[in-house]
Amino acid sequence: MLDDLKLIHERDAQDALGIAEKQAAQYEYSFGFDWAPPEAISDVVVAGMGGSALAAKAFKVVPGIDRPFEVVQDYALPGYVAKNTLLICSSYSGNTEETVSVLEAALADERAARKPMILVVASGGKLKEIADANGLPFIELPSGYQPRHTFGYQFRALAEIFQATSLRVDFIPTLEAAAGQLRSEVTQLVPTVPTNDNRAKQIALECIGKSIVVYGGPLMFPAAYKWKISFNENAKQIAWTDQFSEFNHNEFLGWTKQPVNKPYTVIDLRSNLEHPQIQKRFEITERLLSGMRPAPIVVQAAGTSVLEQLLRTIQLGDFVTLYTALLNGLNPTPVELIEKLKVELTK
């Protein structure tokens, strides 16, 4: 079925596969952001949910940042946020209520003496309205996408923010070089490449009718989280994720007994750049759980740097989950139930 180009085109009505094929261009997109922070930056907080938080989680594990960096997925502004904090409020739609709540709290009158330095990243919506009304620096993301399909734009926005504030200098050329590698590699993942030669299609075929579990070490966990999000939203398939070595302190034992029949697909995102003990834990875990859980699909991250490995593994996951959606007989783009939830929350 995955080699039937006519059927793929019919099911993928909004061309999500085409967006995935062109994601390298998102990392090369220039926002031309130029802003000088009025205070010395002591720490960074990114407020965002779902796909809008994911870029920050990935950016956080790339070496080179020497300040405390927290990703907040909540309605509440952390109490420690003060005038030397760089607060980045990120929501693709601009209407994510948790992120709007954090921004409003940061601007509240009672916090005037401790107001942080605030930047806003969105495609429009309420966040843009608040940014315009308060004269806040604003990066406008290209509109017309689902948030999970804009990881590259949001990662690039963070790169420009960190470049402008001197928190991460000379990073953009490295990012653009990694994007060039994606453009070369994607030719092996597109629909015209038959299943026998297409790693993404092969993995998708092993995911049908199963609950998906994606594991990563500290460096690859953002990619594992992206796979989880994409299985949920693209394939409408239940998935979860966990991080090594925390996994070995609890979830590890959960595989040993109940349920006896385990209808899962296990995917390990492994990296040769992880701490040696993390790499060892993956290998020992696979051996000790042999026969107690499905043998994991091992994805060995390709590339010579953390950034390269993250971006290439994320790209592979996007194609895997889109092909899984098509195998499920679904158009991968719509997320009607999330839209219904948002409407219900406003009542």
Where in the sequence numbering do the catalytic residues fall? Answer: 233, 249, 342
CA atoms within 13 A on the CB side of 194: 1
Buried b or exposed e, range 282-320, using 16+ CB within 10 angstroms? beebeeebeeebeebbebebebeebbbbbbbbbbbbbbb
First vs last Cα of the chain: how many Å apart? Answer: 43
Matching residue, tokens 């026998």: 196
d(CA 196, CA 141): 37
Q: Is 274 left (phi over 0), alpha (psi -120 to 50) or beta?
A: beta
d(CA 193, CA 212): 24
Is 81 exposed, middle or buried, given 0-12, 13-18 or 19+ CB atoms closer than 10 A? buried
